[in-house]
Amino acid sequence: MKQNRRLWLHIVLMAVCILLLGIDLTNFARRTWKERFAYDLTLRHNEIECIRTGVDPFDIFERTISSKEYRGIFRPDKPEEPQDDRKIVHSYPAWHMAFFWWNNFVSRNICIVIMLFVNICSLVWVCRWLAKKYQRSDTVHLVQDILFLLVMMLFPFFFVFEALNYGLLLTGCLLLLFLALQSKYEILAGIAYAFIMIKPQIGVVLLLPLFLNKWYKTIAVAAAICVAGTLFTAGELNKSPLELILQIPSIGAPFYKGFFSSLAIMTFGDAGEFVSMGVFILIAAAGCYFVRNAEEIWMRFLPALAIIPFWTYSLQYDWFIVLPCYLYLLNSKDKHPKLYSLSMDLAILWILTYLAIRQEFRILGCLLDDTVFRLAILMSGFGMVIWDTNEEWIRRNAPRFLSSLKKKDE
């Protein structure tokens, strides 16, 4: 009876959270939709147009050159350029420019229609995959699980469609990667992985499970595609391909380093960012090693996916990529009921705290509550998959490990 009351309390509170967040998003959209709709797609369109004139948008972004037609997007470590009618540019990896070269042969409006269609197709596929992998439960738990996913994903969902960013597209590519590897189509998996690499902060982490599972052909195919794309862009710009690759770490770093990176920089100075990133990578590597023999391919990627929103500057529209972690958590309600229930509590706390302290949609990753709550939820799933995959080994070795620690203390 007590458990049922808590279950219904979760449902009611999450429904209220979704209603409040929906109202907040609607108000925000009403104020900014005309100004910011398809903002990211517009940047990408401008960048490719800029390259076609023989100018690297990264040079404008870095303020190493000035242009009468383009201006760099705001960044805190460079002098701000005057607001005028020049087209705004940022910069993406060189292979991204080659993959989306078609952007500049059609108008911005046609690009919007194409990307909306692609996002909708990706969303349908993601929903179908979730439904297929979800372990059936009673109706009340099903309602709670759907509300949990909505609470965790409504915010990134809004920004993907508002900015027409690549969050849903990359999630679709991730599912294609899982399917191709499960069916032993490593070349197809390599193509999917190459598209995921348009966001290097996501793609690099996924290299861990690929390497540990010896999917070398997938890595090689993706690398060959990215190199070919870089050579194409380098030819258009008359620049060295190596120069284009070496500029990648500077592309997004000035905007957002994440809570843990900022904390590490305060502690260790400029090297702190690398300390923070290194710690998360080591944690992900250890997790991926422990689950490398998981029965289903997608489970072998979960430790890497869980740390993506935290190890670097991945923003809210990239958080779709962690959906498989949430799915595993939801499927573990019978094995780990306390962790499952705690995750529901944390989801409610996360959105209620956000709604209480929001400041005109600041980037949520900058807020401590968001970082801590999301990390706790994802680490719950992280721990579950490692325990479930290695339960026998852990039960056999944990007492031995604990007893050895006790002897050291004595």
- pLDDT of 266 over the 90 cut: no
Task: Report pLDDT digits (tens) over 174-194.
Answer: 999 999 999 999 999 999 999
Domain ranges (residues) in the chain: 40-391
- Looking at residue 241, its pLDDT comes to 93
Weakest-pLDDT range from 147-156, 164-173, 175-184? 147-156
Q: Looking at per-residue confidence, does 193 or 394 come out higher? A: 193
Residue 366, pLDDT score: 43
Q: What is the pLDDT of residues 320-372, one digit of tens each?
A: 899 999 999 999 888 888 888 888 888 888 777 766 665 444 443 344 556 67
> Is the model's pLDDT at 22 over the cut of 90?
no
Mean pLDDT, residues 52-77 taken together: 88
Average pLDDT over residues 138-160: 88
pLDDT (mean) for 88-114: 91
Q: Would you state the pLDDT for residue 160? A: 87
pLDDT mean over 17-30: 78
**Mean pLDDT of all residues in 364-392:** 72
Q: According to the model, what pLDDT value does residue 258 have?
A: 66
Q: Give the per-residue SS3 of the chain.
A: CHHHHHHHHHHHHHHHHHHHHHHHHHHHHHHHHHHHCCHHHHHHHHHHHHHHCCCCHHHHHCCCCCCCCEEECCCCCCCCCCCCCCEEECCCCHHHHHHCHHHHHCCHHHHHHHHHHHHHHHHHHHHHHHHHHCCCCCHHHHHHHHHHHHHHHHHHHHHHHHHCCCHHHHHHHHHHHHHHHHCCCHHHHHHHHHHHCCCHHHHHHHHHHHHHCCCHHHHHHHHHHHHHHHHHHHHHHCCCHHHHHHCCHHHHCCCCCCHHHHHHHHHHHHHHHHHHHHHHHHHHHHHHHHCCCCCCHHHHHHHHHHHHHHHCCCCHHHHHHHHHHHHHHHCCCCCCHHHHHHHHHHHHHHHHHHHHHCCCCCCHHHCHHHHHHHHHHHHHHHHHHHHHHCHHHHHHHHHHHHHHHHHHHC
- Residue 274 confidence (pLDDT): 81
Q: Residue 163: which pLDDT band, with cuts at 50, 70 and 90?
A: confident
pLDDT given at position 104: 81
> What pLDDT, on the 0 to 100 scale, is given for residue 154?
84
Give me the pLDDT at residue 134, please: 94
Q: What is the mean pLDDT of the chain?
A: 84
Tell me: pLDDT of 49 over 80: yes
Predicted model pTM: 0.89
**Most confident range, picked from 157-161, 278-282, 346-350, 395-399:** 278-282
Highest mean pLDDT among 66-75, 101-110, 136-145, 195-204: 195-204
- Report the pLDDT value the prediction gives residue 21, as an integer from 0 to 100: 79
pLDDT score at 409 = 44
Predicted confidence at residue 256, as pLDDT, reads 55
Is the pLDDT reported for residue 216 higher than 80? yes
pLDDT computed for residue 404 by the predictor: 57
Instruction: Of 13-22, 216-225, 355-364, give the range with the top mean pLDDT.
Output: 216-225
- State what percent of residues in the chain have pLDDT above 70: 88
pLDDT exceeds 70 at position 76: yes
